[in-house]
Amino acid sequence: MENEHLEAAQRSVSAVTGGLAPWRLELVKQQIHADLGKKISVPQLAQSCSLSRSHFSRAFKRSTGMSPQDWIRHQRIAQAQKLIKDSRLTLTQISAECGFFDQAHFSHMFTKTAGTNPAIWRFQALAAVGA
């Protein structure tokens, strides 16, 4: 649900002057989602759009309301939340699957983004569905 609100906000902001062309934004989003478990380089994303890193970063932020790094982090956390809820993977496995360096980094970023650590989030998510 939170992702739907984020996507709706991104669509409404993407028409802003100075943002990425819709086809470029879609291309970058597809690349990010395809590579969530890998190291994602902002210069590489910029190159795929034939833009300089600085121009790409500014245009991406105008289109999405977030820096590329923040948007990637939010996508990784959203994927982690889905895996926490819908799989039996350990948090260590989920952190690797979502492209975090280690579980400590994952826990720190998850807590920063979701407001609670992943173990508590898992407990609350499972309790909510009566598991």
Query: How far is it, in rounded angstroms, from Cα 24 to Cα 49?
Result: 6
Query: How far is it, in rounded angstroms, from Cα 73 to Cα 105?
Result: 12
Three-state SS at 12: helix
Q: Which residues neighbour 116 within 8 Å (Cβ) at sequence distance 6 or greater?
A: 124
Three-state SS at 100: coil
* Residues 22-53: tens digit of each pLDDT: 999 999 999 999 999 999 999 999 999 999 99
* Residues 69-124: tens digit of each pLDDT: 999 999 999 999 999 999 999 999 999 999 998 999 999 999 999 999 999 999 99
The CATH architecture assigned to 2-68 reads Orthogonal Bundle (1.10)
pTM, full prediction = 0.82
Fold of 74-128: Arc Repressor Mutant, subunit A (1.10.10)
> What phi and psi values does residue 101 have, to the nearest 5 degrees?
-65, -40
The answer to whether 2-68 and 74-128 have equal CATH topology is: yes
In 3D, which of 78, 21, 74 has the Cα closest to residue 48?
21
What is the residue extent of each domain of the chain? 2-68, 74-128
